[in-house]
């Protein structure tokens, strides 16, 4: 999912204790970038060991979930005709099951099989141009969309229609959680991991203070911090529509798709930020809430106890409101 309300990392570190230092690793991944920041201790792993582990995890994620490389497991599955199955590792099946859960909870608004629609409207890996499709092309693409066309048989993923999977709404959050778990297993206790805008903080900075992030207002021209939030043990994900969109005949079309409509959403919700102990769940829920919109998304968040901030367009700019669960986790 394209990220609209970017999370700026505000890292103000005091003097480190003897033997401790802030290490930072960054690079490209998933068509965007990643950053890992952690406190290195005398008894902890060497920086080159940490970097190797980080790159191993990200390479695994890319090989399984990328829709932009033809040899990934998902790309291979997407090329299969209807009525075929493919053996999949546990990570892929886990995200398919979560996709089914989110699809059911959202009454079909969220769907992992919307890639034909994304391509048709100009937002997917096989896109040719951003444009409003004609009715015939839209009807044809909608025949290839629907989570109900998928089923898991043992260790295989099967499809009874030529559906195509897109895990962009889940893969980055999943990667963050895997990286945090891998680094903690190495003995790294204090860290902040960010992948394509999704992030999670564990422990504290070298001075003992909390890692902090800034929630930004969705502006194209400059960054404006709306709220500074301490973060410990929570994953954070933001989904927004204001950076990835096109306009045609005076109307705005974003990359956020309601699978029930076969079209981009049409509402005034600009961005949603979700906090959850699982960055994967934060990633999925931020997408669901953005698709559902300012009212239905708000009711969904209240029903499921989701810690979220909604930023909605109004005539004079933007209005933000947060759920009771968000107020509790950020006290």
Q: What is the mean pLDDT of residues 10-17?
A: 39
At 7, is the pLDDT very low, low, confident or very high (cuts 50, 70, 90)? very low
Q: CB of 274 within 8 A of CB of 305? A: no
Task: Tell me the C-alpha distance between 129 and 122, whole Å.
Answer: 5
* Alpha-carbon radius of gyration of the chain: 20
Phi and psi dihedrals of 205, rounded to 5? -75, 175
Least confident of 3-17, 35-49, 128-142: 3-17
Can you give the pLDDT at residue 80? 97
Q: What is the pLDDT of residues 211-228, one digit of tens each?
A: 988 886 665 554 555 678
The pLDDT confidence band at residue 289, using thresholds 50, 70 and 90, is very high
Per-domain boundaries in the chain? 73-159
How is residue 296 written in tokens? Answer: 């239905």
Phi, psi of 145 (to 5 degrees): -125, 135
Residues pairing with 264 in the sheet: 257
What pLDDT score was predicted for residue 60? 97
| Position with higher pLDDT, 28 vs 262 | 28
DSSP string, 35-97: EEEEEE-TTS--HHHHHHHHHHHHHHHHHHH-SSSTTSHHHHHHHSPTTEEEE--HHHHHHHH
Structure token pair of residue 109? 């608004």
Q: What is the pLDDT of residue 3?
A: 40
Q: Alpha-carbon distance 287 to 306, whole Å?
A: 13
Q: What superfamily does domain 73-159 belong to in CATH? A: ApbE-like superfamily (1.10.3980.10)
- Least confident range from 62-71, 116-125, 140-149, 310-319: namely 116-125
| Burial (CB count within 10 angstroms: exposed 0-12, middle 13-18, buried 19+), residue 227 | middle
Which residues neighbour 77 within 8 Å (Cβ) at sequence distance 6 or greater? 86, 88, 157, 159, 165
Torsion from C-alpha of 265, 267, 271, 274, nearest 10 degrees? -80
Of 149, 119, 151, give the one whose Cα is nearest residue 137: 119
| Strand ranges in the chain using DSSP code E only, listed in sequence order | 7-10, 21-29, 32-40, 84-87, 150-153, 156-159, 191-195, 198-202, 211-217, 224-231, 235-240, 245-248, 251-254, 257-258, 263-264, 269-276, 307-314, 317-322
> Of 50, 1, 42, whose CA–CA distance to 18 is shortest?
42
Q: Look at the block and give the residue holding tokens 């700019």.
A: 317
Residue 123 has pLDDT above 90, yes or no: no
Six token digits for residue 22: 């802030």
pLDDT of residue 318: 85
How high is the pLDDT of residue 128?
Answer: 57
For residues 15 and 331, the model is more confident at: 331
To the nearest whole number, what is the mean pLDDT of the chain?
86
Q: In the chain, what percentage of residues exceed pLDDT 70?
A: 83
Q: Is 175 left (phi over 0), alpha (psi -120 to 50) or beta?
A: alpha
Average pLDDT over residues 118-123: 76
Q: Mind listing the pLDDT tens digit for each residue in 24-76?
A: 999 999 988 999 999 999 999 999 999 999 999 999 999 999 988 899 999 99
What's the whole-number mean pLDDT along residues 148-163?
Answer: 96
Q: Over the range 126-149, which residues count as b (16 or more CB within 10 Å of their CB) and which as e?
A: eeeeeeebeeeebeebbebbbbeb
Q: How do residues 162-221 score in pLDDT, each as one tens digit?
A: 999 999 999 999 999 999 999 999 999 999 999 999 999 999 988 888 898 888 666 555
């Amino acid at each position: 999912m394209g990220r609209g309300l970017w999370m700026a990392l505000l890292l103000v570190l005091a003097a480190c204790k003897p033997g401790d230092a802030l290490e930072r690793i960054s690079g490209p991944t998933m068509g965007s970038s990643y950053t890992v920041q952690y406190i290195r201790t005398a008894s902890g792993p060497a920086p080159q060991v940490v970097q190797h582990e980080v790159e191993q995890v990200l390479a695994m994620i890319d090989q399984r979930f990328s829709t932009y490389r033809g040899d990934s497991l998902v790309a291979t599955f997407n090329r299969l005709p209807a009525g075929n199955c493919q053996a999949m590792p546990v990570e892929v099946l886990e995200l398919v099951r979560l996709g089914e859960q989110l699809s059911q909870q959202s009454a079909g608004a969220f769907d992992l099989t919307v890639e034909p629609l994304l391509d048709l409207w100009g937002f997917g890996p096989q896109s040719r141009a951003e444009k409003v499709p004609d009715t015939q092309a839209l009807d044809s693409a909608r025949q290839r969309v629907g989570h109900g066309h998928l089923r898991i048989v043992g260790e295989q993923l099967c499809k009874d229609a030529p559906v195509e999977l897109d895990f962009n709404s889940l893969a980055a959050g999943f990667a963050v959680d895997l990286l945090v778990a891998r680094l903690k297993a190495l003995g790294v206790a204090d860290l902040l991991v960010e992948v394509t805008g999704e992030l999670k903080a564990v422990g504290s900075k070298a001075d003992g203070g909390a890692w902090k992030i800034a929630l930004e207002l969705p502006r194209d021209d400059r960054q404006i911090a709306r709220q500074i939030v301490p973060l410990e043990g929570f994953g954070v994900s933001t989904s927004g529509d204001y950076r990835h969109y096109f306009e045609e005949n005076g109307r705005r079309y974003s990359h956020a798709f309601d699978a029930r409509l076969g079209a981009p959403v049409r509402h005034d919700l600009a961005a949603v930020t979700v906090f959850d102990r699982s960055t994967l769940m934060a990633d999925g829920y931020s997408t669901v809430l953005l698709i559902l919109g300012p009212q239905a998304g708000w009711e969904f968040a209240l029903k499921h106890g989701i810690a979220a901030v909604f930023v909605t367009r109004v005539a004079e700019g933007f209005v933000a409101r947060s759920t009771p669960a968000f107020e509790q986790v950020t006290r």
